[in-house]
Structure 1
Amino acid sequence: MNTREEKLKAFDRLLTIMDELREECPWDRKQTMESLRHLTIEETYELGDAILDNDLKEVQGELGDLLLHIVFYAKIGSESGSFDIADVANGICEKLINRHPHIYGDVKVENEEEVKQNWEKIKLKEGKKSVLQGVPKSLPAMVKANRIQDKVAGVGFDWEQPEQVFEKLQEELGELQEEVSTGDKDKIESEFGDVLFSIINYARFLGINPENALERTNKKFSKRFQFLEIEAQKQGKALKDMSLAEMDIYWNKAKEMD
């Protein structure tokens, strides 16, 4: 591993390259925070893929891409005199110190849950009017639901036992079935949303990230289905011409290979 001096030297090198690119490269010179935004989101998802694939070499590369974006935004901020990379770094340092009084102060905590509760209380003292104020509006719905539940739990608005959450899930499933029988699409959608919200909450109580769990299933399903396509092609068959029973044979073979 690199020494602290080597790490600082590498970061200084990146800052120098960013200065040069902003000055000399037509593409880099043209970029704004708005033009970079969608690219940053894309890079974040690519990092997420690498993490789920447990590809540490790829994680390293994607972290580099995100670090470049952070430096890029700070460079643009410095050009208007708004902030620079030192302000960004010092800002997060001060925030971390302020929000960890059990490390940098005299507050005592017993466990991780108390740390989270203190974190949310401190944010409210900092001027946030709502615990939910920090949840980005543009988050995907599943991620947003998980963050909402996590944040309200931080101030004590939560179930006490996983069994209670599971009972709530069953209750919501029953209400969904009642609305399905009516055929009212709007009410069905509303109850379906309640079911999803409840099962995401249950995942949190089980210590499972629902986004990661669903993506693992997406990958597993895609792998099995692609195996099915390949095997059908070997037999000179098109999937649309196969019966479900025929496809099920290859699907079960794919499951055995997991």
Structure 2
Amino acid sequence: MNDRRHDLEDLLILMAVLRDERDGCPWDLKQDWDSIVPHTLEEAYEVADAIERRAFDELPGELGDLLFQVVYYSQFAAEEGRFDFHDVVHALTAKMLRRHPHVFPDGTLASRRGGATAAEVETHQVHSRWESFKAEERAERASTSVLDDVPRALPALSRAAKLSKRAARVGFDWPDARGVIAKIREELEEVEQALAADESELAREEVGDLLFAVVNLARTLKTDPEQRLRATNAKFERRFRHVESALTEEGRLGEADLDEMERHWQQAKRIETNR
């Protein structure tokens, strides 16, 4: 038995063999750029889920699955003569060196910031410089809008937060959270007006505007709306499972009315509060 630990080169060789026309895997040979994208998104969410659950024993495997997606795309590119995995590593390292002159002043891995304190590094000036570098990179790609490189494949909540954050950087924003709350009330009122007029399609559209305004409130409060909603989903699931369990014990599952379910729901809230 070979106890040697596998390294990155082993992974690159494995990927190349999986895609080999003679010796490869039939499933892997059928894949292309587009077919892998859904798997990439799924693997990213599984990493986030493992971190949120603090399932650190699962994390190496989940991170490996996510890394494999990068290796997959690099293999496609190598087969087409576009670039390879080493080009990806080089581009990433060069970009990070360029964006961190406060850490690598000469733009090389060997250079250091010369004893500056963490407080000095964590300044508005550093953040502004980072944004300046990103703006320059967008200009090099002939981008015409600050919104150009916000990925369309992001989950809607995350993309809404990123779009509004980009717009805020050029001054398109409320002065504080109170302004966003007023906007939420305005959007909710428009939903109510559409429902009162029996305009169901308009009401659905207004719900989208309401959600976008709520995302802006999360951004203003410096919290990620996707993470907040995932946490709320988990909380809802815990409490509803308690309701189901309690009703099962009473022999009332499937028969209980809303008042009975609400009673157990409030009990679940109290249990969580008292922990």
Bigger proportion of residues as helix: 1
Whole-Å Cα distance in 2 between the matches of residues 122 and 56 of structure 1?
Answer: 38
Specify the alignment match of 1:20 in structure 2: 17
- Mapped contact 1:77–1:83 kept (Cα < 8 A): yes
Specify the alignment match of 1:3 in structure 2: none
Specify the alignment match of 2:205 in structure 1: 190
Once the 2 structures are TM-superposed, how far is the Cα of residue 120 of structure 1 from its aligned partner? Answer: 4.5
Q: Which runs of 5+ in 2 are unaligned?
A: 107-120
Q: Deviations over 1:210-258 (max 9, x none)?
A: 111111111111121122212222222232x112222222222222332
Specify the alignment match of 1:123 in structure 2: 137
Whole-Å Cα distance in 1 between the matches of residues 31 and 205 of structure 2?
Answer: 42
Identity %, equivalent residues: 35
Whole-Å Cα distance in 2 between the matches of residues 150 and 213 of structure 1?
Answer: 17
Letter aligned with residue 40 of structure 2: T
**Per the alignment, in what secondary structure is the counterpart of residue 70 of structure 1?**
helix
User: What is the CA RMSD across the aligned residues, in angstroms?
Assistant: 2.7
Letter aligned with residue 57 of structure 2: K
Going from structure 1 to structure 2, the CA distance change for 1:122 and 1:97 (only over 3 Å counts) comes to: farther
Whole-Å Cα distance in 1 between the matches of residues 79 and 98 of structure 2?
Answer: 29
Going from structure 1 to structure 2, the CA distance change for 1:158 and 1:94 (only over 3 Å counts) comes to: farther
TM-score by length of 1: 0.84
Q: Which runs of 5+ in 1 are unaligned?
A: 1-5
TM-score by length of 2: 0.79
Match of 1:160 among 175, 178, 198: 175
Letter aligned with residue 190 of structure 1: E
Specify the alignment match of 1:205 in structure 2: 220
Whole-Å Cα distance in 1 between the matches of residues 201 and 47 of structure 2?
Answer: 36
**Per the alignment, in what secondary structure is the counterpart of residue 87 of structure 1?**
helix
- Mapped contact 1:99–1:122 kept (Cα < 8 A): no
**Per the alignment, in what secondary structure is the counterpart of residue 134 of structure 1?**
coil
**Per the alignment, in what secondary structure is the counterpart of residue 207 of structure 1?**
coil
Once the 2 structures are TM-superposed, how far is the Cα of residue 100 of structure 1 from its aligned partner? Answer: 4.2
**Per the alignment, in what secondary structure is the counterpart of residue 42 of structure 1?**
helix
Whole-Å Cα distance in 2 between the matches of residues 115 and 202 of structure 1?
Answer: 26
- Paired residue total: 250
Larger relative contact order, structure 1 or 2 (CA cutoff 8 Å, min sep 6): 1
